Structure 1
Amino acid sequence: MTNQLHGRDEKPISSNPSIDELLGSVGFIERKGNVGVLLIHGLTGTPTEMKQFGKLIARKGFTVACPELAGHCATIEALSATKWHDWYISIEKAFDALKQECDHVFVAGLSMGALIALLLAAKRGNQVAGVILLSTTFFYDGWNVPKFKQTFLLPLVLYTPLKYFFHWEETSPYGIKDERTRALVHAILENRDNQAADKIGYFKTPATVILESVRMIDAAKKVLKNVIVPTLIVHATEDDMASIRNAHYTQANISSKTVETFFVDDTYHVLTLDKRKDDVAKRAAQFCKEQAHILTSNNKVSLAA
């Protein structure tokens, strides 16, 4: 995407960019080892929602990076100017850049970011060391999504000219069960903080953007069978936006021989910010450590043969 899309002045990106060039103003990287973990924030979210999660994983000896998705962390207009493929390309470029400095790279995505992780794994195969899927969203069917919206209103708006006039505004609990964290989010929204897009993302999502997410869902469904890498599926049993059905659907349709699940209670959709965030990060780091050890052992066997 062009620099104008982000709504701010940026240095031009080289033809073979480093991961640092691709992070954006809100993205981050922590270099702690030769195994990388690429984090993908959710639709309308920001790298901020992944930062504490990423720091916890980095402490276990991983290099952790989280770039901005195209069109995010700026304005609604910038987001509306993007398509789902632009979001995907943001991550594919970051993956290639992180591979330049890491022996192996895992990919971990939250919500719609999990779909991007699946799309990347389906396309790049064993180049991806493994995927960690947090709150995967194929179906908007959580307990806080009214049935009327799921079955009638959403299709009516998305597939008619109404999509150019409607937006959805996220309401409490904002995917967060922890009351203190939820209160912080609510305070930012109440104050109409001008920097809210950088801090917590957009809470008004144009229908045209939701339509792009639906198109990405369809694209991901078509290639699930091509996902063959080790996979960790993490989902909240009380997810308010995407029920645990999403986790079961993913597990049933990918072709990975190694599939692990971690179903978490006492938390909602945004696993990286909620009550069990430390447990989720610990489990993700454990998965990466185990799978990286297997890859390293296999490489040694191949060299010795």
Structure 2
Amino acid sequence: MTILPGADPISIDGGDIGVLLCHGYSSTPQSMRGWAEHLGGSGYTVRVPLLPGMGTHWKDLNATGWHDWYGELERAHDELARRCGTVFAGGLSMGGLLATKLAQERPALAGLILVNPIFAHNNPALLALPLLRHLVPALGGLAGDIKKPGVVELAYDRNPLHAMYSQTRLWKIVVEDLPHLRLPVLLLTSTEDHVVPALSWRTFLDRVGSTDVTHIVLHDSYHVATMDNDAELIFAESVDFIERQR
């Protein structure tokens, strides 16, 4: 199985504070590289795993599900936790969903950073997904929602429906347990997002049990905000958040 050029996992060794970042559905660590390098430049140890089924061919993604993606994130976390005394987790889109699941399972995490996370969606077409996935292997892709001209996300141009269905199952599991999440949270959401609706972050804020939630609005980016006009703001706010929790 050949990994696409630029889709490799990212590993930056630094100090005793570790940050685990997770890319989104059908995407790759390329969408997190600027963020990871900024954190590494701030002295942190950073890991960005490549989730199973991604960074190769979209058909590979249809052979995986959320247990596979989450398992890879767990492995990366455990390696980071053996190296660092303090670990934060963050993610974009479905990466934020998986990072939240990790925070629910690993309450020793120092904090959670979420960029346009997906917890719920109001697209009526999702109602047909349980049946449609047995009839059609994939539909049009979800990648590349970036406002900044000339920036390209390395991700599939197809949405594999078996994998998408598995992701929707995880939405329900994570949302149900949100009241038990007590970690400090930094939530960054775009005012204009063509992939994830505002219903998603509102669901998170309505249900999360943490009393320490900082919500920052991104006014000049679309969904893939880590590669967009507000990227530097995300990077800086992440460092500020981490330093506040030390």
Taking structure 1 as the reference length, what is the TM-score of the superposition? 0.75
Residues 43-85 of structure 1: CA distance to partner in whole angstroms, max 9, x if unpaired?
1000011001111122122111101111211222321111111
Tell whether the 8 Å contact from 1:176 to 1:274 is kept in structure 2 after alignment: yes
For structure 1, the residue ranges without an aligned partner over 5 or more in a row are 1-6, 10-24, 142-149, 186-199, 294-305
Is residue 220 from structure 1 mapped to residue 180 from structure 2 by the alignment? no
Shift of 1:140: 3.5
Is residue 202 from structure 1 mapped to residue 156 from structure 2 by the alignment? yes
Shift of 1:8: 4.9
Residues 163-242 of structure 1: pairs in structure 2 closer than 5 A: 163-170=134-141, 174-181=144-151, 184=152, 200-242=154-196
| DSSP 3-state at the match of 1:160 | helix
| DSSP 3-state at the match of 2:84 | coil
Residues 242-261 of structure 1: pairs in structure 2 closer than 5 A: 242-261=196-215
Residues 111-190 of structure 1: pairs in structure 2 closer than 5 A: 111-125=93-107, 127-140=108-121, 150-151=123-124, 153-156=125-128, 158-170=129-141, 174-181=144-151, 184=152
> Of residues 66, 80, 100 in structure 1, which corresponds to 2:48?
66
Q: Which is richer in helix?
A: 1
Aligned residues: 244
For structure 2, the residue ranges without an aligned partner over 5 or more in a row are none
User: Counterpart of 1:255 in structure 2: which amino acid?
Assistant: G
Shift of 1:166: 4.3
Shift of 1:105: 0.5
Q: Aligned residue for 2:14?
A: 32
Tell whether the 8 Å contact from 2:121 to 2:200 is kept in structure 1 after alignment: no
Tell whether the 8 Å contact from 2:28 to 2:155 is kept in structure 1 after alignment: yes
Taking structure 2 as the reference length, what is the TM-score of the superposition? 0.93
Shift of 1:130: 0.6
Tell whether the 8 Å contact from 1:140 to 1:241 is kept in structure 2 after alignment: no
Shift of 1:248: 2.3
Larger radius of gyration: 1
Shift of 1:33: 1.5
